[in-house]
A and B are shown apart, each in its own frame.
Chain A
């Protein structure tokens, strides 16, 4: 039975800050960076107004912000931070410490291109670069999803089967600074959904002294990495359970991905984040022109839900994967390579093509999707793509 919700008009950043207020973490350590700034700025107002019990640490860098969050989480606190782009890059080594210590830190990431050239606008190169850091990654299409994902992320991270940190991504400026209507839960409902936090391990129990972060060399390091991998493999069942529980509460269901017009489609388009909104309109137009195309919007990138993706995409003739990051591997973007790999063991699989788009905030519109549509038509007619990896919307 869905609970009462309040309709509000908020930017994606404000929505995330509001979710943080309702989560009411014990510690937030943060450093401002465009386009994340509004998240910590708004949250600091909640702190100043006494609306949260949070100890707010104004760190001198993102490396220190993540370090402080790690220290707080190790002490048994529910700890959060938030960042973007260069800030995430500066946190790099600490990201691995958070995940390997199995600390359930939750962090909104407002996606922004990495320098250089210096750029403040959206692409996914920051979070995609951190894809092997052992963090769960959820991608949000709009402020509503950023809000919903952040609340769910806390419960996913803290589940004893998981105990891994979670990044909740949304698109810099496009949704972080875009005002949208959304429905928010009551504080008490969020509090009840998350429950009181009891850390699995804490340094501050004087009766049971423990050591965290000891040296582990050739004899033990490997086993701890296997434990992390096992936790990541257990995460899908928890992500699913939490998504369903949140759905019962809010009537908004969450899984690993969302599909649109996909069932009878011959061709599929895959996208993450705000691009999915444009893609839905594009799918409608392309269908009107006779192309049987559908959309798959991926929400969970880490862990990569390969089995479930194979289930819904098997039987499609061609899949166009959109990547808002160039991994500079010479083999296409990070989402593309994961999709291809997921289908490798099948004897009959779709053709895959990759479109790298929107780097540094370059807009993607219906014209770009029109080009994808005509490529897909050609591939369906000719049985194979003329080009596998393309840059969509770049001057070449």
Chain B
């Protein structure tokens, strides 16, 4: 069964939101920035970091950025602010500190 082309085009062009939440672009979950949900923000201190990668291992969202075995920062588009990274960061190091989120994700 095919949708009449006219209807499909109308739906796609009608507004920001096709009715009923129908998603017309396949695979667009990639564009959904779940970082919008965050109420606390992990702040990473590059100078204090010992690159043990515990935060990278424990992050449930894969939001710790790592290049060549070294932490390079946090992916705020997808970090939901759970604070596990800050909890797992060794107490003597404290390279990740949770702060109150004041605005939308960076």
Contacts and interface: CB of A to CB of B under 8 A. Distances in A.
A345 interface: no
Contacts of A202: 1-3
B13 interface: no
A202 B2 CA distance: 7
B101 to A, nearest CB: 14
Contact of A199 (B1, B21, B23, B37): B1
Interface residues of B, number: 18
A227 B8 CA distance: 18
Given A198-B7, A219-B36, A205 B22 contact: no
B4 to A, nearest CB: 5
A227 B17 contact: yes
Interface string B34-56: 00110000000000000000000
Interface string B1-28: 1111001100100000111111110100
A75 B1 contact: yes
A208 B12 CA distance: 11
Contacts of A5: none
Contacts of B23: 210-212, 214
B36 A210 contact: no
Chain A: number of interface residues, binned into ranges: 20 to 34
A27 B11 CA distance: 25
Interface in A216-249: 216-217, 219-220, 223-224, 227, 231
B22 A201 contact: yes
Interface in A172-222: 198-202, 204-205, 207-214, 216-217, 219-220
Contacts of A163: 19
A204 B1 contact: yes
Given A75-B1, A76-B1, A219-B36, A208 B8 contact: yes
Nearest to B4: A198
A217 B17 CA distance: 14
B3 A201 contact: yes
A272 to B, nearest CB: 30
A366 to B, nearest CB: 48
Contacts of B37: 217
Contact of B17 (A199, A204, A207, A223): A223
Contacts of A205: 1-3, 8
A214 B21 contact: yes
Nearest to A216: B21
B13 to A, nearest CB: 14
A202 B1 CA distance: 8
A208 B9 CA distance: 11
The 6 closest A-B pairs by CB, nearest first: A211-B23, A102-B20, A204-B1, A76-B1, A209-B26, A205-B3
Interface of B: 1-4, 7-8, 11, 17-24, 26, 36-37
Given A199-B3, A201-B22, A205-B8, 11 more contacts: A101-B20, A163-B19, A201-B7, A208-B3, A208-B8, A209-B26, A212-B21, A214-B23, A217-B37, A220-B17, A224-B21
21 contacts: A75-B1, A76-B1, A160-B7, A199-B1, A201-B19, A201-B20, A202-B1, A202-B3, A204-B1, A205-B3, A208-B2, A208-B24, A209-B26, A210-B26, A211-B23, A212-B22, A213-B21, A216-B21, A224-B19, A227-B17, A231-B19
